[in-house]
Amino acid sequence: MDQTVVLITGCSSGIGLSLAVRLASDPSKIYKVYATMRDLAKKKRLMDCVKDSHKDTMDVLQMDITHHQSILDVRDGIKEKRVDILVCNAGVGLVGPLESQSMEMMRQILEVNVLGTIRTIQTFLPGMKARGSGRVLVTGSIGGLQGLPFNEIYCASKFAVEGVCESLAILLQHFNIHVSLIECGPVNTDFLANLRRTEPGDASLSQADARTRALYATYLQHCDTMFQDAAQEAGDIVQVFLEAIEAQSPALRYYTNSALLPLTTLKLAARDGSQYVKAMNKFIFSIDKAGDC
Ligand SMILES: NC(=O)c1ccc[n+]([C@@H]2O[C@H](COP(=O)([O-])OP(=O)(O)OC[C@H]3O[C@@H](n4cnc5c(N)ncnc54)[C@H](OP(=O)(O)O)[C@@H]3O)[C@@H](O)[C@H]2O)c1
């Protein structure tokens, strides 16, 4: 039987690495994984995790999702000449007051999270359409469903990805291609270490007023608490990916963290959004109504 060919972006660490390891180590050897990363110098961590169990089930290829040619090179280097399951996972966070963000930094985040994801899908979609089958899985975020203070640009990027996927999901039903978003809350990966974050001592923070700076300090504490109390492990997320991969009729959205569902549900159900804004102020800043300190 032919192996199911899976291409995953962002496999140097975190969710991408864990998913690549899980699929490449599957005892049935039904998956052939193309684990891609932008810097092959980081390959060792992945190789240490798969040990010897990856012969015939994994190839590691260089791919930077912001460089179109590198995506094309990967596509052309796939021995099976097809991708059955495309996993768009690579992404990067950005945290800080909006006033402290440079245009260049905001562009970089949007370039990776939005255009990089779109470019990757664009590249592999024609093959899937021609074959009349395929799966596109995207590592989404709660930040793509609900606004989070001091994450404006990251949320903008993840909201954009939601729009792309939801729009495609409708059209791609006609081609027997399923699109699924795996919506994650905090996950213990290298995400925090890799995210671009305005630090309390950064000169750019002076662009924001004193009240915003104080709220930002509170937010950073809230963030630490969230990661301590509610963060999942990459393995938990992999289980949700597997559920989506194995489903006969995959859902458009899978939520990985039930602890976060009440706020997400409130956001999705709220017509005018004001209840959500109040609930978030209470949750993060312990403020009952706007103007309270
Ligand atoms: N961890 C969380 O709390 C969390 C929550 C919600 C959603 N997510 C989403 O989950 C996804 C995976 O993140 P993670 O948690 O596993 O964090 P991670 O450990 O930082 O992994 C991110 C991966 O993306 C790669 N990447 C960044 N820019 C790239 C580019 N231009 N081309 C190719 N790869 C690139 C990184 O490669 P380098 O090593 O080369 O930088 C790394 O392999 C992201 O889309 C993120 O937004 C994470």
Dihedral of CA atoms 181, 187, 189, 193 in degrees, nearest 10, equals 110
In angstroms, rounded to a whole number, what is the distance separating the alpha carbons of residues 201 and 123? Answer: 42
Backbone angles phi, psi at 133, to 5 degrees: -165, 155
**What is residue 286's predicted lDDT score, i.e. its pLDDT?**
84
> What is the distance in A from the centroid of ligand 1 to the CA of 15?
8
* pLDDT cut 70: percent of the chain above it: 98
Q: Per the residue annotation, which of 154, 219, 255, 276 is the catalytic one? A: 154
Q: In the chain, where are the structural domains located?
A: 4-209+232-259
Question: In Å, how far are 117, 186, 236 from 189, measured between CA atoms?
Answer: 20, 9, 12
CB burial string 31-59: b at 16+ within 10 A, e below = bbbbbbbbeeeeeeebeebbeeebeebbb
CATH T-level fold of 4-209+232-259: Rossmann fold (3.40.50)
Length of the chain counted residue by residue: 293
The end-to-end CA distance of the chain, in Å, is: 64
CA distances from 41 to 49, 70, 92, 115 (A): 15, 16, 19, 24
Q: What is the pLDDT of residue 288?
A: 74
The tens digit of pLDDT for each residue in 131-188 reads: 999 999 999 999 999 999 999 999 999 999 999 999 999 999 999 999 999 999 999 9
pLDDT higher than 80, residue 1 = no
39 lines ligand 1 (CB under 6 A): yes
Active site residue 154: yes
Where residue 287 falls among pLDDT bands split at 50, 70, 90?
Answer: confident
| Confidence bin at 293 (pLDDT 50/70/90) | very low
Write out pLDDT tens, residues 20-71: 999 999 999 999 999 999 999 999 999 999 987 778 999 999 999 999 999 9
Give 191 Cα–ligand 1 centroid separation in angstroms. Answer: 6
Q: What is the pLDDT of residues 59-83, one digit of tens each?
A: 999 999 999 999 999 999 999 999 9
| Least confident span in 131-145, 188-202, 261-275 | 261-275
pLDDT at 276 over 90: no
What's the whole-number mean pLDDT along residues 287-291?
64
